[in-house]
Amino acid sequence: MSKHEANAPAPGAASAAAAFGESLDYVTVTVGEQLLGLPIGRVHDVFIANHITTVPRAPSEIVGLLNLRGRVVTAICLRRRLGHPVAATTHSDEACELVAVGIDLGGEAYALIVDAVGEVMRLDQSTFEPVPVHLDASWAALAAGVHRLDERLLVVLDVDAVLKLDLPVAA
């Protein structure tokens, strides 16, 4: 993976993009056919997750807990979070290896389980667009915008929204 030297962002940057501070660097991941981007400032590390402890009665998006260098990390399945079907056997086997992106939120460590991690991309403001209006509401809530790439589209994820699960009220 290579990362370009950071340049100062173009003056007059689109306001939607400004929501991500100065960074327009993304760690790209894929879920199904879709290319997604996570703001690089939010990504702690990329690692292979194995030996995941499933948590009975947990929300379906939560794959389980894993140990990352002595920290207990909550693994969230991005596929399920985005409403894609998940093959039933994928996560139940403890020994299987999953590609994970490490993210910190509120002092807690999370891992987003994705299908694959691609390269780090540095993109120009000019290709950024807000989320198309007709996008499915559940998707729209998780996306911050779209970058038009030459070959395909990159959906920028709103990390905070992705990690904000609807939890049942404590009994």
Partner 1 sequence: MVFGMDDLLQEFLSETGENIDTVDRELVRFEQEPNNREILRNIFRLVHTVKGTCGFIGLPRLEALTHAAESVIGQFRDGATVSAIAVTAILETIDCIKEILAELAEKGQEPVGNDEVLITELLALADQAKAELSHRLPENGEPSDPVAAYLTRHGSPLSEDELDLVFRSAPGPERGPNGRIEAPATAKAADEAAPREVRPGGSATLRVSVDTIEHLMTMVSELVLTRNQLLEISRKQEDVGLKAPLQRLSLITAELQDGVMKTRMQPIGNAWSKLPRIVRDLGAELGKRIELVMEGTDTELDRQILDLIKDPLTHMVRNCADHAIESREERLAAGKPEHGTIRLAAYHEGGSVTIAVSDDGRGLDIARIRRKALQQCLAQEAELERMSDAQISRFIFHPGFSTAESVTAVSGRGVGMDVVKVNVDAIGGIIDIASTPGVGTTITIKIPLTLAIVSALIVVAGKQRFAIPQIVVRELVRVKAGADHRVEQINGAPVLRLRDRLLPIIALSALMGAAGAPTDDGFIVVTQIGERQFGILVDGVFHTEEIVVKPMSTKLRHIPLFSGNTILGDGAVVLIVDPNGIARLVGAAATVDALRVETPAQAQPPAAEKTTMLVFRAGLEGVKAVPLSLVTRLEEVDAGEFQHSGGRVLLHYRDRLMPIIPVGEAAIRTEGLQPLVIISDGELILGLAVDAIVDIVDEVLDVEIASMSDRGVIGSAVIRGRATDILDLAHYLPKDDPGWLSGRRSDARPIDAAQILLVEPSDFLREMLGPVLKASGRQIAFASDFETATRLAAHEAMTCVLIDLDRTPDAAFTFAAALRASASGDSLRILGLTSLATPELHMRAAQVRLDEVIAKFDRRALLSELAERKSGMRQAA
Q: Residue numbers of the site for partner 1 (CB under 8 A)?
A: 51, 53-60, 62, 64-67, 70, 72, 74, 76, 94, 106, 108, 165-171
CB of 2 to partner 1, least distance (A): 32
Residue 49 or 123 with smaller CB distance to partner 1: 49
Residue 25 or 61 with smaller CB distance to partner 1: 61
CB of 127 to partner 1, least distance (A): 32
CB of 154 to partner 1, least distance (A): 26
- Provide φ and ψ at 78, rounded to 5°: -65, -35
Residue 18 or 55 with smaller CB distance to partner 1: 55
Residue 70 or 85 with smaller CB distance to partner 1: 70
